[in-house]
Structure 1
Amino acid sequence: MKKKERQQKIVDEVSINRKVSSSYLSEKLDVSEDTIRRDIKELHDQGLLAKVHGGAISTVQKLYHYNEDVIYNRENKVRIALKAIKLIEDGMVIIMSGGTTNLILAKLLPKNLKATVYTYSLPIAMQLTEHPLIETIFIGGKIQRSAMVTTGIDVIQYLSNIRANICFIGVSALSIEQGVTDEGYEVAMIKKAMINASQKTVFLVTPNKFNATLNHDVCSFGEIETVVTDLASDDLTFKKYRKEGLPML
């Protein structure tokens, strides 16, 4: 099968199923997972699908909202969001980063909560507009199409003028050696600005983000104030990080 034909089949599978794994495509198309990952990256760069951990999802309607069926580890993220909500009080000023864990948090906020939320995530801002008592402030800037967040110096400067009670940061990677890291330089800088603008910082971490390191520092391990995860207290990873002094909920 030629490359062009194979990539078209990948696009077709994603369109039909909304989400597909690299292993599924590898078996179906009888090629290696490395080949599939390269194809997915090329198709992602062309805007024909969205590359995610372990596979790809459709970009249809992604501009306005995420289809909940294509949120990976959704049950984990719901449990994390429900824990995080307990840290929020009426009247708070909140900053939220991008990512699907924060998107679920925005969706699950109690309808009687009165708060002001700043975010540079377009999907989260759109979700918050459905909340009757939350004042939503979208921080504008250059849009990063893959994640539908704004980036750039304008976002960082805006955040420098905010004094928030709490911020919620979705974590891309966390390790004892490197702390919180992120794939993109601009997003890492924005998350640093969020930390500086907030009295309290809460990191939302799904189990697959532990013991991972990416290219750009957000904060060191010793600077982490609070981690919310859905790892069980008897989980070996939970015990390991708790032993190192990480505050975990």
Structure 2
Amino acid sequence: MLKEERQNYILAKIRELNKVKSNELAVELGVSEDTIRRDLNQLSHNGLILKVHGGALSTHQKLYHYNESSVFNRENKVILAKKVVPLLKDGMTVIMGGGTTNLEVSRLIPDNIKLTIYTYSLSIAMQLTEHPNVDVIIIGGKLHKQALVTVGVNVVKLLSKIKADLCIMGTSGIDVDEGITEVGYEVSFVKRIMIASSRQVVALVTADKLNTTQRYPVCDLFEIDKMITDLDPNDPVLIPYAKKGVEIL
């Protein structure tokens, strides 16, 4: 098979599946993985695909793809995400915030669970397009270009009309006395509405966020039902939070 034919095959495969693996392409096309890597490099250089470790993605996947090795505390965030999954029940309506911890959650949702997920995160919405049984509703508004989340009046209006079973919310800071706080005012305001619109609120907290505060308040601890951390639930640092009535997972 000529190089042009191989590359056309690869592009057709990516259009169909949104992603391909180098080792599988090598078997399908009867060539070495080195040959496939050279093809992927050329297609990536031409802007036709997004090359990643072990294969390639459709260019529209750029919105949510990230270099896993560059994510701070990724291993800890995966631990948190795995603790969230058992809380997801078939038929639930869920509000999911932004951030890389929630992105890990969205990647781990089992295929057999049917959910309706509202999110203001473009990255998470794009990730969830790969899930066969999740209805994704993205909440439109002003785009925060760095965080790839929407903020503003429209987001607040839509969130305030939702009656969700579960809110899954990342945190920038959490303290026994100050509660949850955020770096930016707009995000803090959106999170307050998320909480008010949900029957149950789950806060995702990596250990480095414990006992820290940011500028803008989100909520008091009594407004949180569960706090999921990357620590053992019996860790002494979590005792003051448990005494405030927060269930620690």
User: Counterparts of 1:63 and 1:110 in 2: how far apart (Å)?
Assistant: 22
**Aligned residue identity for 1:199:** R
Residue 62 (structure 1) shift? 6.0
| Structure 1 residue matching 2:132: 3-state secondary structure | coil
Matched-pair contact (CA < 8 Å) for 1:78–1:104 = yes
Kindly report which structure 2 residues correspond to 1:1-249, keeping only aligned pairs within 5 A, or say none. 63-249=63-249
Measured after TM superposition, the shift of residue 163 of structure 1 is: 0.9
Question: Matches of 1:141 and 1:196 in 2, distance apart?
Answer: 19
Distance in 2 separating the partners of 1:247 and 1:234 = 11
Question: 1:161 Cα deviation (Å)?
Answer: 1.1
Q: Distance in 1 between matches of 2:237 and 2:89?
A: 30
Deviation at residue 67 of structure 1 after TM alignment: 2.1
In 1, the alpha carbon distance for the partners of 2:198 and 2:244 equals 24
CA distance 1:62–1:240, change in 2 (3 Å): farther
**Equivalent pairs, count:** 189
- Superimposed CA distance per residue, residues 195-248 of structure 1 (whole angstroms, 9 cap, x where no aligned partner): 111111100111011010011111012322211112113423123332443321
Query: 2:22: which partner in 1?
Result: none
- Taking only aligned residues, the RMSD between alpha carbons, in angstroms, comes to 1.4
In structure 2, relative to structure 1, the CA distance for the partners of 1:163 and 1:62 (3 Å cut) is same
Whole-Å separation in 2 of the counterparts to 1:216 and 1:145 = 20
SS at match of 1:167: strand
SS of 1:198's equivalent in the other structure is: coil
Displacement, 1:115? 0.6
Amino acid at match of 1:118: Y
Secondary structure at the counterpart of residue 154 of structure 1:
helix
Letter in 1 for 2:121: S
Structure 1: where are the runs of 5+ without partners? 1-60
Higher-Rg member (1/2): 2
Q: Please, what TM-score do these two structures have when normalized by structure 2?
A: 0.73
- Which amino acid in the other structure matches residue 76 of structure 1? N
- Could you tell me the TM-score, scaled by structure 1's length? 0.73
Question: Which 4+ runs in 1 deviate beyond 3 A?
Answer: 61-64
Write the distance in 2 (CA, Å) between the matches of 1:198 and 1:218: 15
- Between the aligned residues of both structures, percent identity stands at 49
Task: Specify the SS of the correspondent of 2:203.
Answer: strand
SS in 1 for 2:111: coil
For 2:199, what is the secondary structure of its paired residue?
Answer: strand
Whether the aligned pair in 2 keeps the contact of 1:173 and 1:210 (CA below 8 Å) is yes
Q: How many angstroms does 1:83 deviate by?
A: 0.8
Cα 1:243–1:196 change in 2 (3 A) is closer
Quickly say closer, same or farther: Cα 1:62–1:145, change in 2 above 3 A. Answer: farther
Q: Contact 2:167–2:200 at 8 Å: present in 1 too?
A: yes
Contact 1:91 1:115 in 2 (8 A): yes
Does the CA-based 8 Å contact 1:66-1:123 persist in structure 2? no
**1:131-156 CA deviation, whole Å, 9 max, x = no partner?**
01111111111111111100001100
8 Å CA contact 2:221–2:244 kept in 1: the answer is: no
C-alpha contact 1:116 1:135 (8 A) present in aligned 2: yes
